[in-house]
């Protein structure tokens, strides 16, 4: 069940990372919904429209870019800000995001939780 005050959806297949972020946002007064797969995220977004989505790209089966494309093709979700949370591509010194479609913001792993919170709050304030 998604709480009424929930505005953030974090899609992350690594449960410890998801829980760390959830606790950090809770300390700042935010409720965050979590999904551990792209398919689960799309099911959640059928029932609730988040104000901001945090999106891991590297997930099994239905990956982050699959979720992103589905969101942009859904009239109800197309304008929801997406913050990609991703790891650097090994041996290239670039992030995956350098070669892919634009998103609203991106944070590289390992990330500074405070930076992530500031980014999310900037989108929440403008919505």
Return the CATH number at 46: 3.40.50.2300
Q: Does residue 6 register a pLDDT over 70?
A: no
| pLDDT given at position 1 | 46
Q: Please indicate, yes or no, if residue 83 is contained in any of the structural domains.
A: yes
For residue 45, being part of any structural domain is answered with yes
Is residue 101 very low, low, confident or very high in pLDDT (cuts 50, 70, 90)? low
Neighbours of 92 (CB within 10 A): 10
pLDDT, one tens digit per residue, over 17-63 is 999 999 999 988 888 999 999 999 999 999 999 999 999 988 878 88
Question: How many CA atoms does the CB half-sphere of 73 hold within 13 Å?
Answer: 7
In a domain, 75, yes or no: yes
Q: Is residue 3 part of a domain?
A: no
Q: 55 has which bridge partners? A: 11, 84
Q: 34, 82, 32, 89: which is closest to 58 by C-alpha? A: 89
Domain holding 37, by residue range, is: 8-126
Q: Is 97 inside any structural domain?
A: yes
Task: Enter the tokens of residue 52.
Answer: 């901001």
Instruction: List, in order, residues 6 or more apart from 125 with CB less than 8 Å away.
Output: none
Give the chain's domain count. Answer: 1
Q: CA 113, CA 64: separation in Å to the nearest integer?
A: 20
Quote the pTM value.
0.84
């Amino acid at each position: 069940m998604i709480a009424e005050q929930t505005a953030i959806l974090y899609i992350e297949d690594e449960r410890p990372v998801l829980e760390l972020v959830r606790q950090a946002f809770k300390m700042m007064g935010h409720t965050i919904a979590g999904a551990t797969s792209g398919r689960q995220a799309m099911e959640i977004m059928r029932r609730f429209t988040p104000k901001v989505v945090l999106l891991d790209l590297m997930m099994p089966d239905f990956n982050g870019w699959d979720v992103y494309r589905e969101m942009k093709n859904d009239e109800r979700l197309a304008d929801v800000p997406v913050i990609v949370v991703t790891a650097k591509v090994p041996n290239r010194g670039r992030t995956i995001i350098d070669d892919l479609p634009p998103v609203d913001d991106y944070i590289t792993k390992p990330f500074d939780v405070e930076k992530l919170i500031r980014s999310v709050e900037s989108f929440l304030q403008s919505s």
